Amino acid sequence: MLPPVEGKRFSIFPIKYRIVVSLARADLKTLEFKLVALQFKTKFQYDNGENQMDVKFFLRAYSQGDRNFQAAILHGVDLSNCNLSGIDLSRADLSGANLSGANLSRANVKYANLAGADISHADLSGAHLESVNLIGAALDGTKLVGSNLTRADLRTADVEGAALRGANLTEADVSGANFRQVDLASACLEGVDLQGVDLDGTDISQILSRAEQESAGISRDWVSWGAH
């Protein structure tokens, strides 16, 4: 530690903490190294050796107004039923995380890794999910109204009973996914290959014509055609 000597002062602002250090007659090369290390330790205050962010620190920072958690490592964490609306988790690692019942409305989750995550019954209305990895994720009963899932990877995901009204799934990969009883009213499915996707009970009559569905190899027996 530097001695409390009167003289020049230097301030850094890692996250929401202000640290003032006296630099009088100090070895600036050594100080520069210490400040960088301190800033890193403050941001990842509960580092477990792999930059995994501690859940308590994460939620405390969010409650204090922080919304920028880009590239955060939150693998396997339990954030079920948490309010995280408007958060920026772009490029974050949330693989295997429990986000069931969480409020992620208007969240930015672009390019994030949510493979194998439980997002069932969560609210992702208006969220940005472009190019997100949702392989094998549980999205049953999830609210995705007006969300952007352009080029999202939904292979083998369970989307049963989800609300995707007005969602943009342009060029999304839904191979092997479960889309039973999904609300796709006014959704955009441009460039989406629905062959082999379980669409039992899902009404896509307003999205693709019968001719388009037949050319895509979609069996009429799998699809609901609206009111009978």
Average pLDDT on 85-112 reads 98
Q: Please report how many Cα atoms fall inside a 13 Å half-sphere around the Cα of residue 2, on the Cβ side.
A: 24
- pLDDT greater than 50 at residue 158: yes
Average pLDDT on 165-185 reads 96
- pLDDT number for residue 177: 97
- pLDDT greater than 50 at residue 48: no
pLDDT band at 205 (very low <50, low <70, confident <90, very high): confident
pLDDT band at 203 (very low <50, low <70, confident <90, very high): confident
Instruction: Give the closest residue to 172 by CA, choosing from 199, 154, 145.
Output: 154
Is residue 122 within 8 Å of 142, Cβ to Cβ? Answer: yes
When mean pLDDT is compared across 144-148, 174-178, 206-210, the lowest value belongs to 206-210
Average pLDDT on 30-56 reads 54
| Per-residue pLDDT tens over the stretch 103-151 | 999 999 999 999 999 999 999 999 999 999 999 999 999 999 999 999 9
Kindly state the tokens that stand for 222.
Answer: 């799998």
Backbone phi, psi, residue 164, to 5°:
-120, 30
- pLDDT number for residue 9: 37
Residue 11 DSSP code: E
Distance CA(159)–CA(140), nearest Å, equals: 5
- pLDDT number for residue 42: 41
Instruction: Give the closest residue to 140 by CA, choosing from 119, 114, 156.
Output: 119
Residue 226, class by beta-carbon neighbours within 10 Å (0-12 exposed, 13-18 middle, 19+ buried)?
Answer: exposed
Instruction: Give the closest residue to 40 by CA, choosing from 14, 72, 13.
Output: 14
Q: What is the pTM of this model?
A: 0.73
Average pLDDT on 29-37 reads 46
- pLDDT greater than 70 at residue 213: no
pLDDT band at 38 (very low <50, low <70, confident <90, very high): very low
Please report the sign of the dihedral spanned by the C-alpha atoms of residue 186, residue 192, residue 193, residue 198.
Answer: negative
- pLDDT greater than 80 at residue 22: no
Mean pLDDT for the chain overall: 80
Residue 12, class by beta-carbon neighbours within 10 Å (0-12 exposed, 13-18 middle, 19+ buried)?
Answer: middle
Q: How many residues does this entry show for the chain?
A: 228
Tokens 């890193």 map to which residue?
A: 40
Instruction: Give the closest residue to 202 by CA, choosing from 215, 191, 218.
Output: 218
Domains, the chain, with CATH or none? 1-43 (no CATH), 61-228 (2.160.20)
